[in-house]
Structure formats: structure tokens, C-alpha cells
């Protein structure tokens, strides 16, 4: 995401870093390029003007001119101002009602991905230990109720729906149903609508009146840029929005919506959708997003992803095996499957500082991971624990079973042997030091 703006900002910073000495004149030149990068990213014009004014005020003051590393100081200033622009250092977590259920109303334009987002949010909340109820209150769009029911069944999350009845009544009954069934979060999937449709906006206001939601979130498509910002502004004028959820952020190479919404509406981005899978959904952290935009990676989110999929007991067993240099291909497969749960390999690499830019043009095909997985799964348990017994005949059988070539199997075994050698060298380290390293 944000590939275009990241490239242009990094180019501007490289020019500044190449200057022997920074002056007010070449700082202005560099910030002119930053301004162009933001405008080309479809960031609201007034937002860009205010942003550049704030950066300029800090950059041409003593803060940069007397800095030991002026170019780095400018990058820090731009980073800090991006964080402020997107919401500042605020608590990104969702606040829950002291007396359950917590009611969350979702609103937005048609086609913004609202129904899928409701399901993603519900799954996210389950990981937080909550018991959500999805409410099918979109009776305008054909098959919207069926879609939510299908997603609910897939995720094993209850869905409340009624054959007939106006949405305000359906939503009110759903809240009662949640109380009766000890469900602590209610997510209302309302119909997509234009803010100029008075009848449908009145319907939302009535749902708000009858359910008194703790949070009203606008779901907006990040790829629509300033249209998403304008719709957020319009909805915010008619409803007490608590924040915005941006969908399809992974497909947004520009970033205009993410960088403009908070400044225009004064409402924070609370969550972002970053892919089609139900797990591709996360809380929005301005500081982490600013680091991603500037190509600095996002180690904190990477660690959180790893912690969310890594079983603690399994991690302990893996550490013990590494200490004893007894890793086998089954362990290799287990780790591969853990990585797959974390998302796209390219996205994961982009979170590591310095790696994302370096691998920008490298083809990181997730299908390759699937081929490795197929090879190991085509082996017998004995072959996985004792790969040295793999002769030509066994390799031929495995290649046929996995739909791969013998050359690919040899390549995998070579990589595995290299990893074992590395583990052996680590095993020579003092045990206390190695345990610390593995943690």
C-alpha cells in the first residue's frame, strides 16, 4: 500500500541527504517535492497546505539548521507531522460499554465493503475474548442478508435477521436478543446509502435513536480517495460518527483518504481492511502507518501478527529443538504454516525496516510457499524426520505426489541443510546466550 507516495517521499529525502549543507533555500526545494508527492497522492489540498506550513516552520528553525544530521531531522519532522495528521498518539483500541452489550452501528455508501467489514470486525473481537452478534439490517440490497448469514456460518458467529420489518425495529430487537443470549457486542449492518438520500438517512437516525449505539463507524473505500473523505464529511454532519473504517487499503497506492480523513472530519480512522481474507483487518495506529509510508517498516505490527498466530507451547518446543539442533522437515512445515497465517509474504517483508524498499521489484510469490508445503506433505513421517534417506526413487515419488520437480525437492533439501548448519553453529554458543537470542 502507498507505494507511489513512499517512492516520491524517499526520492525527496535522498536529494536532501545529498546536500553538503542544508539551507533555508534547499529545505524549501525539498519540501516542495514533498508537497507535490502529497498532492499526487490525492491528499486534500487544504490538508497539504497546512501540513507543509507546519513542517516548514519546524524545518527552517533551529531544530534542523543546527542539527548534527539535518536530513534525518527533516525525515523525523515529516514523520511526526504525518502522525499528527492521521490522529496523533491516541489509544487506538475499541472502548466497550461497562454494561453489555456494546452496540456498533456501521454506515456507508453502497459497495464500500460494509457487510464483509462487519464480519471481519466480529472475528477481530472474538480474538479479544468477546461474543459478538451480527445483525442483518440491510434489506435494501438483494442477498445482503444471505451474505451476512454465510459469513456468520463460516466464522461460527450468530446472525440475527427477520423476514420482514423496518431496519430500526430489527436492530432494536437484535439488541434485546443479545441481552437475552449473553452476547456482549452487537454489530449492526445497515444498508448502503448516499448522504443525500433523506429517507435512508432518516432511517439511520431512527436506528441510532432506538439502539443508542456506543459507536457509529463509517465504512469507506480507501481506493476512492477524496470521494471517501467527502462522504465521511457528509455522514459526519448528519450522524455522531465515532470514527472511520477504511477498506481496501492494501490496494491504495496513493493514500489520499488515509491522510485526509482525520484533518477534514476530525474523526479518527479506527480500523483498516488490508486484504480479502477475514484476518486481513487491524486497528489503525497513526505512528505505525506513518513509518510504513516513509518506508521505515512496522516491526510492532509484525510482532503482533506473529504473537496472534504462534502457539506458546509450540514455540517452546521449537526453541528446545533448536537448542539441541534437532529441527526436522516437520518443524520446517509447521513454521511455514504459521507464516502463512500471518498474511502475504511481501506484506510481511514490507514491515521490516529497509527490507520493503529493497525487495520492491522482487517477485515474492506466495505460491512458492505452497509448493514447499506440498513437497513436505508428500513425504512420509519418517522422511520428514530423516531427510537423509531420500534417494532418487523416493524423490521421484514425492515429486509426482506434490506436482513439483526433483530439482525443486533438491533445492528445498539444500536450503534445509544450510539452515541446519546455521543451527549447529548457534548450538556452539553458551546455552544462556542462545536462550536469550531465541527469545
The confidence score (pLDDT) of residue 367 equals: 75
Same domain for 109 and 221: yes
The confidence score (pLDDT) of residue 74 equals: 83
pLDDT bin (cut points 50, 70, 90) of residue 433 is very low
Neighbours of 159 (CB within 10 A): 22
Written in H, E and C, the secondary structure of the chain is CCHHHHHHHHHHHHHHHCCCCCCHHHHHHHHHHHHHHHHHCCCCHHHHHHHHHHHHHHHCCHHHHCCCCHHHHHHHHHHHHHHHHCCCCCCCCCCCCCCCCEEEEEEECCCCCHHHHHHHHHHHHHHCCCCEEEEEECCCCCCHHHHHHHHHHHHCCCEECCCCCCHHHHHHHHHHHHHHCCCCEEEEEECCCCCCCHHHHHHHHHHHHHHCCCEEEEEEEHHHCHHHHHHHHHHHHHCCCCEEEEECHHHCCCCHHHHHHHHHHCCCEEEEECCCCCCCEEECCHHHHHHHHCCCCCHHHHHHHHHHHCCHHHHHHHHHHHHCCCCCHHHHHHHHHHHHHHCCHHHHHHCCCCHHHHCCCCCCCHHHHHHHHHHHHCCCHHHHHCHHHCCHHHHHHHHHHHCCCHHHHHHHHHHHHHHHHHHHHHHCCCHHHHHHHHC
CATH number at residue 49: 1.20.120.140
pLDDT bin (cut points 50, 70, 90) of residue 362 is very low
pLDDT bin (cut points 50, 70, 90) of residue 424 is low
Is 384 a member of any domain? yes
pLDDT bin (cut points 50, 70, 90) of residue 318 is low
Query: Greater confidence, 299 or 273?
Result: 273
Same domain for 199 and 311: no
Q: b/e for 71-95, b at 16 or more Cβ within 10 A?
A: bebbbbbbbbbbbbbbbeeeebebe
Which residues on neighbouring strands pair with residue 137, listed in sequence order?
190
The confidence score (pLDDT) of residue 368 equals: 76
Mean pLDDT of 405-430: 74
Mean pLDDT of 39-65: 85
Q: How far apart, in whole angstroms, are the C-alpha atoms of residue 209 and residue 172?
A: 10
Using the predicted structure, report yes or no on whether residue 261 has a pLDDT greater than 70.
Answer: yes
Q: Are strands 215-221 and 185-190 parallel, antiparallel or unpaired?
A: unpaired
Q: How far apart, in whole angstroms, are the C-alpha atoms of residue 291 and residue 299?
A: 10
What are 147-182's pLDDT values in tens digits? 999 999 999 999 999 987 899 999 999 999 999 999
Mean pLDDT of 41-58: 90
Mean pLDDT of 422-430: 56
The confidence score (pLDDT) of residue 213 equals: 95
The confidence score (pLDDT) of residue 393 equals: 93
Using the predicted structure, report yes or no on whether residue 144 has a pLDDT greater than 90.
Answer: no
Mean pLDDT of 410-426: 75
Same domain for 418 and 361: yes
Is 150 a member of any domain? yes
Using the predicted structure, report yes or no on whether residue 111 has a pLDDT greater than 50.
Answer: yes
Q: Which of 33-37, 317-321, 425-429 has the highest mean pLDDT?
A: 33-37
Is 297 a member of any domain? no
Residue 327 CA: distances (Å) to CA of 317, 324, 342: 10, 8, 22
Q: In what order do the strands lie in the sheet with 102-108?
A: 159-160, 132-137, 185-190, 102-108, 215-221, 243-247, 269-273, 281-283
Is 365 a member of any domain? yes
Residue 324 CA: distances (Å) to CA of 37, 315, 321, 386: 52, 14, 5, 16
The length of the chain in residues reads 439
Same domain for 110 and 228: yes
Same domain for 74 and 193: no
Tell which residue, 339, 414, 405, has the closest CA to residue 374: 405
Same domain for 139 and 172: yes
What are 55-76's pLDDT values in tens digits? 988 888 766 666 667 777 888 8
Using the predicted structure, report yes or no on whether residue 352 has a pLDDT greater than 60.
Answer: no
Same domain for 332 and 271: no
The confidence score (pLDDT) of residue 277 equals: 86
* Number of structural domains the chain divides into: 3
Same domain for 57 and 123: no
C-alpha cell of 188?
449492526
What are 204-246's pLDDT values in tens digits? 999 999 999 999 999 988 888 788 888 888 888 888 999 999 9
Using the predicted structure, report yes or no on whether residue 53 has a pLDDT greater than 50.
Answer: yes
The confidence score (pLDDT) of residue 339 equals: 67
What are 84-108's pLDDT values in tens digits? 999 887 666 789 999 999 999 999 8
Using the predicted structure, report yes or no on whether residue 394 has a pLDDT greater than 90.
Answer: yes
Cis peptide before 101 (omega within 30 of 0): yes
The confidence score (pLDDT) of residue 67 equals: 65
Q: How far apart, in whole angstroms, are the C-alpha atoms of residue 47 and residue 38?
A: 9
Is 321 a member of any domain? yes
Is 97 a member of any domain? no
- Rounded to the nearest integer, the mean pLDDT of the chain is 81
Is 292 a member of any domain? no
The confidence score (pLDDT) of residue 346 equals: 58
Same domain for 81 and 110: no
The confidence score (pLDDT) of residue 94 equals: 87
Please state which of the ranges 250-254, 340-344, 395-399 shows the lowest mean pLDDT: 340-344
Q: How far apart, in whole angstroms, are the C-alpha atoms of residue 293 and residue 36?
A: 15
Last residue of a domain, one of 227, 253, 285: 285
The confidence score (pLDDT) of residue 153 equals: 95
C-alpha cell of 317?
518446543
> Do residues 190 and 139 make contact, with C-beta atoms less than 8 angstroms apart?
no
pTM (predicted TM-score): 0.69
Last residue of a domain, one of 26, 58, 85: 85
Is 290 a member of any domain? no
CATH number at residue 315: 1.10.260.30
Same domain for 267 and 182: yes
- Identify the domain containing residue 404 by its residue range: 303-438
C-alpha cell of 207?
436506528
Last residue of a domain, one of 32, 51, 85: 85
Same domain for 134 and 45: no
Same domain for 169 and 213: yes
Amino acid at each position: 500500500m502507498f507505494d507511489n507516495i513512499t517512492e516520491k517521499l524517499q526520492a525527496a529525502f535522498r536529494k536532501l541527504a545529498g546536500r553538503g549543507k542544508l539551507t533555508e533555500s534547499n529545505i524549501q526545494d525539498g519540501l516542495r517535492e514533498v508537497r507535490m508527492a502529497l498532492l499526487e497522492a490525492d491528499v486534500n489540498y487544504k490538508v497539504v497546505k497546512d501540513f507543509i506550513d507546519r513542517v516548514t516552520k519546524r524545518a527552517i528553525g533551529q531544530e534542523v539548521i543546527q542539527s548534527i544530521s539535518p536530513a534525518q531531522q527533516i525525515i523525523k519532522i515529516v514523520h511526526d507531522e504525518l502522525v499528527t495528521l492521521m490522529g496523533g498518539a491516541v489509544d487506538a483500541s475499541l472502548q466497550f460499554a461497562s454494561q453489555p452489550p456494546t452496540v456498533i452501528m456501521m454506515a456507508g455508501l453502497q459497495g464500500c465493503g460494509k457487510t464483509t467489514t462487519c464480519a471481519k470486525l466480529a472475528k477481530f473481537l472474538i480474538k479479544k475474548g468477546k461474543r459478538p452478534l451480527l445483525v442483518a439490517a440491510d434489506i435494501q440490497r438483494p442477498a445482503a442478508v444471505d451474505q451476512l448469514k454465510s459469513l456468520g456460518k463460516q466464522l461460527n458467529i450468530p446472525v440475527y435477521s427477520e423476514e420482514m420489518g423496518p431496519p430500526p425495529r430489527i436492530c432494536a430487537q437484535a439488541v434485546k436478543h443479545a441481552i437475552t443470549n449473553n452476547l456482549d457486542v452487537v454489530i449492526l449492518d445497515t444498508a448502503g446509502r448516499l448522504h443525500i438520500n433523506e429517507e435512508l438517512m432518516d432511517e439511520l437516525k431512527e436506528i441510532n435513536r432506538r439502539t443508542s449505539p456506543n459507536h457509529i463507524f463509517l465504512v469507506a473505500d480507501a481506493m476512492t480517495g477524496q470521494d471517501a473523505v467527502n462522504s465521511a464529511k457528509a455522514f459526519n454532519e448528519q450522524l455522531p460518527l465515532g470514527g472511520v473504517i477504511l477498506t481496501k487499503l492494501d490496494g491504495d497506492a496513493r493514500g489520499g483518504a488515509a491522510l485526509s480523513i482525520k484533518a477534514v472530519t476530525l474523526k479518527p480512522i479506527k480500523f483498516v481492511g488490508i486484504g480479502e481474507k477475514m484476518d486481513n483487518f487491524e486497528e489503525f495506529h497513526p505512528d505505525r502507518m506513518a513509518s510504513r509510508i516513509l518506508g521505515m517498516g512496522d516491526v510492532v505490527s509484525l510482532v503482533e501478527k506473529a504473537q496472534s498466530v504462534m502457539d506458546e507451547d509450540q514455540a517452546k518446543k521449537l526453541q528446545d529443538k533448536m537448542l539441541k539442533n534437532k529441527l526436522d522437515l516437520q518443524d520446517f512445515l509447521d513454521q511455514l504454516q504459521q507464516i502463512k497465517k500471518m498474511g502475504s509474504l511481501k506484506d510481511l517483508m514490507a514491515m521490516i525496516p529497509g527490507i520493503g524498499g529493497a525487495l520492491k521489484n522482487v517477485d515474492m510469490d506466495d505460491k512458492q510457499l505452497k509448493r514447499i508445503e506440498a513437497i513436505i506433505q508428500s513425504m512420509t513421517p519418517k522422511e520428514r524426520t530423516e531427510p537423509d534417506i531420500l534417494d532418487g526413487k523416493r524423490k521421484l515419488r514425492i515429486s509426482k505426489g506434490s506436482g513439483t520437480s526433483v530439482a525443486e525437492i533438491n533445492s528445498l533439501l539444500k536450503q534445509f541443510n544450510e539452515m541446519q548448519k546455521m543451527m549447529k553453529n548457534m548450538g556452539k554458543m553458551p546455552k544462556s546466550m542462545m536462550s536469550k537470542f531465541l527469545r
